[in-house]
Amino acid sequence: MKQKPLILVTNDDGITAPGIRMLVDIMKEIGDVAVVAPDSAQSGMGHAVTINNTLTLEKVSIDPDLANEYACSGTPVDCVKIALSQILDRKPDLCVSGINHGSNSSINVIYSGTMSAALEAGMSGIPAIGFSLLDFSWNADFEQIRPFVKKITDEALKNVIPTDVVLNVNFPKLKTDEIRGIKVCRQAKATWMENFDKRLNPHGKEYYWLKGEFVNQDKGEDTDEWALKNGYVSVVPVHFDLTAHQAIKRINNWDL
Amino acid sequence: MKQKPLILVTNDDGITAPGIRMLVDIMKEIGDVAVVAPDSAQSGMGHAVTINNTLTLEKVSIDPDLANEYACSGTPVDCVKIALSQILDRKPDLCVSGINHGSNSSINVIYSGTMSAALEAGMSGIPAIGFSLLDFSWNADFEQIRPFVKKITDEALKNVIPTDVVLNVNFPKLKTDEIRGIKVCRQAKATWMENFDKRLNPHGKEYYWLKGEFVNQDKGEDTDEWALKNGYVSVVPVHFDLTAHQAIKRINNWDL
């Protein structure tokens, strides 16, 4: 009998977040699951990695079905690195990250700890998928998207994700039967219009809270933003070669 | 007379690092300089952003020539966001980040706070360049690369960096007259082979230090790694559309 796939599960909301617990639950139907996830919330950590501090790794048993479940003091990227180096005795067949509480569509992919963990796995040659639900709340209803997470994971294992590509999957906040299907998309061109809330602390010193407004400048109907707004699950294949290849020729005309 | 360009300077090694002081010194020859940089070292922070904590901004005067110099408690990306929103009264004509103490070539671009600051500026529509010297030491000899930093910046202002493109510039650790020139390159395909140094603290509890070995798998002579190994300055145009466009068609053949 064929060996079950080994699936590494991580996230950025922390190991106890409902999103990762749902993802573990779905992955147990598909393969052997190992969890290495942050011991606290790590949202917005991007591709941060801990180089000037130490890391700890604590064996936990949140899900008694799992032999390998660890809480790590580091970032999502640290979790993937330490899982591959210290926990798993073979290369996993898949790494899944999430399910994130909140969107990682469009430019959010750059800031996302969820997607950075998936990208880190991809950079190590492991097929990887990041899952996010467009609902920031702790009590988001992940049950609604269960069949789609299962379907995409099954297809990714069956068809093989292209080399050096990682999937960024986002789900609209809808009921299962309201979701119109799955669309493979490009990343919409969008930005955050930054703003800061300036306040005074009790000692009269100024401090700031970052806030911002997401602005989609992209009218394309082939984007993740379009898909999500229109009731579809978006799947964006992303890569980690950041070279703007088409710009090389143009800059070669400069007098450098 | 034409207005001098407004140049925002930031980095990830902290506002007092010799690399940023050299960059400020060079930029003062070119335009009006404002500095907003981290109050402490932020290496390896990637595109991290501070959303679950507050930020402080302190006016400092390390360089008495500058009217706008601020130390920020956040990440390099936070520095750019807060500079644009709270400090500068107009959009800068250029944002430069660095000079980083250490390489940001190849896959390091993903982990780099220096480059994330530059990318953040680019995402806000500001021409941006990240500069890095292949010398991790605090006493790295930045004087050797001064003419090249000046040259690239002048050319970028004159020729205009393509829209949605940011330059990732790395310098070999060589004397000025040993540097063979400047090459426009693609990002080499390379990875970090991860390893961890496992230790015991005085109370017998395990902890880890991340370490790793950089492995360049790319034999191409059009890469940044090749250029740097062969005595050239590397200039890689990078972008923030992570879509693996060529993979969309292939994944559309899956049964989703």
Give the tens place of pLDDT for each residue, A204-238: 999 999 988 899 999 999 999 999 999 999 999 99
pLDDT digits (tens, 9 = 90+) for A118-176: 999 999 999 999 999 999 999 999 999 999 999 999 999 999 999 999 999 999 999 99
Which pLDDT score, from 0 to 100, does residue B42 have?
82
Check: CB of residue A216 under 8 Å from CB of residue A198: no
What mean pLDDT comes out for the span B113-125? 96
B160 touches chain A (CB under 8 A): no
Q: How many CA atoms lie within 13 A of A26 on its CB side?
A: 25
Domains held by chain B: number: 1
Q: Residue B25: which pLDDT band, with cuts at 50, 70 and 90?
A: very high
Note whether A57 contacts B206, CB cutoff 8 Å: yes
Residue A197 included in any domain = no
- Which domain, by its residues, includes B127? 6-187+220-241
B1 part of contact set with chain A, CB < 8 Å: no
Percent of chain B with pLDDT over 70: 99
Q: What is the mean pLDDT of residues B218-247?
A: 97
Whichever domain contains B149, its CATH number is 3.40.1210.10
Q: Is residue B209 part of a domain?
A: no
Indicate the residue of B51, B54, B238 with minimum beta-carbon distance to A242.
Answer: B238
* Residue count (chain A): 256
For residue A42, the model assigns a pLDDT of 82
Is B212 within a domain? Answer: no
Test A210 with B46 for CB contact under 8 angstroms.
no
Q: What does the pLDDT read at residue A229?
A: 98
* Record: contact B198-A86, CB cut-off 8 A: yes
Cβ–Cβ contact B248 with A under 8 A:
yes
> Does pLDDT of A1 surpass 70?
no
Interface test with A, best of B110, B161, B187 (most A CBs within 10 A): B110
Q: Which residue has the tokens 């890689």?
A: B236
The nearest CA of chain A is from the CA of B197 a distance in Å of 10
pLDDT-derived band at A43, boundaries 50, 70, 90:
confident
In terms of Cβ atoms closer than 10 Å to its own Cβ (0-12, 13-18, 19+), residue B178 is: exposed
Nearest 5°: the CA angle B240, B92, A239 is 5
Please tell me the predicted confidence (pLDDT) of residue B1: 52
**pLDDT for residue B9:** 98
> Considering the domain boundaries, does residue A202 fall inside one?
no
Task: Tell me if B51 is assigned to some domain.
Answer: yes
Among the partner-chain residues A85, A167, A194, the one whose CB lies closest to the CB of B85 is A194
Q: Contacts of residue A187 in chain B, CB cutoff 8 Å?
A: 241-243
